[in-house]
Homo-oligomer: A and B are copies of this chain.
Amino acid sequence: MNYSARATPMDQTVIEPGFFGLDEGDSDWSNAHANFLSSLLPAETRDLLACSQCLDLKSRDQLFRAGDSSDSVYVVADGCIRLFQVASNGRETILWFNFPGEIFGIAELVSGNDRQIYAVANEPSRVYSIRQRDFASFLGAHPEAAMKAIGILSARVRALGQMLVGLASDSVEARIAKLLMRLAAISSGNKCAAASGADEMCVNLRLTHQDIANMVGSSRQTVTSTLASLRNSGAIRTVSQHFHITQPDRLRCLLNGYVA
């Protein structure tokens, strides 16, 4: 009864069904996008922000770009920051959206490497910028905060792993379905008023089809038509500039591989 690591799809009967899909670690996503700021004690928050600088960004303002030397860590106060990378062929891949309270730019903290990615305001935003050395000594002085940071990074490792698996093995439709569910999960805090159905979920974020393509690793046209078919099937609808998932179950089927 030795499970073979090199098993080909045929042998995978060992895997209990229904194990993945739906909430393939929903909690990971919330942890990965955890509100670092509000998880701190008031005194800690005070200490941290004391040595911070506040930056206001217009939509599309660039905070840093690949190749910049990195000297700061950031915390989102308000708005949304998009992290992405540009491949050698010019293709953009969106890696992450940072919502209020989230911390980012830590990856360069210890290694002291240059920035590897681009950070751009996805909408008018405000961020606190904290010098690396200040942040490092803050962590040193507050072990619980350091543990919190470890927790967040861990969740991100898991989340990125899931994204990787999806990219490597799902169809475009499934990848889009997953993406919408995830985005809905993390932006569920600020549910917009227009929700009608009981289990209707809101993806509270403005995204162009190109953005989605860049997250999902496909082309704009494919996104357009996939979205159209999801809309026709009644799974999602468009509410002033953003999506609502009207029938989450429909999407869940997709990402479980049922053709339904």
Q: Are A154 and B108 interface neighbours, CB within 8 A?
A: yes
A28 within 8 Å of B (CB atoms): yes
Q: A169-B93, A217-B168 are in contact. Are A140 and B139 (CB under 8 A)?
A: no
Which of A2-10, A46-54, A230-238, A243-251 is the contact stretch? A2-10
Number of residues on chain A facing chain B (CB within 8 A): 86
Which B residues lie within 8 Å of A86 (CB)? 12, 15, 20
A88 at the interface (CB under 8 A from B): yes
B-contacting 9-mer, from A159-167, A184-192, A197-205? A159-167
Partner of A89, one of B27, B62, B169: B169
Which residue on B lies nearest to A154, using beta carbons?
B107
What 1/0 mask marks residues of chain A from 137 to 177 whose CB sits below 8 Å from any chain B CB?
A: 00110010011111101111110111111111110000000
A37 interface hit (Cβ, 8 Å): no
Residues of chain A in range 99-131 having any CB-CB distance to chain B below 8 Å: 106-111, 113, 116-118, 120, 122
A20 partner, pick from B12, B16, B87, B163, beta carbons under 8 A: B87
Query: CB-defined interface of A31-54 with B at 8 Å, one 1/0 digit per residue?
Result: 100000000000000000000000
CB under 8 Å from chain B, chain A span 72-98: 82, 84-93, 95
Q: Are B85 and A27 in contact (CB under 8 A)?
A: no
7 A-B contact pairs sorted by A residue (CB < 8 Å): A6-B208, A15-B86, A28-B113, A85-B162, A110-B147, A110-B150, A140-B147
Please name 18 further chain A to chain B contacts, defined as beta carbons within 8 Å, in addition to the given A4-B60, A25-B116, A107-B158, sorted by A numbering.
A7-B92, A9-B89, A12-B86, A19-B67, A20-B88, A28-B111, A28-B116, A88-B256, A91-B169, A95-B164, A107-B157, A110-B155, A139-B146, A140-B147, A143-B146, A146-B147, A168-B214, A169-B217
Closest 5 CB pairs of A and B: A168-B217, A110-B151, A9-B90, A5-B120, A91-B169
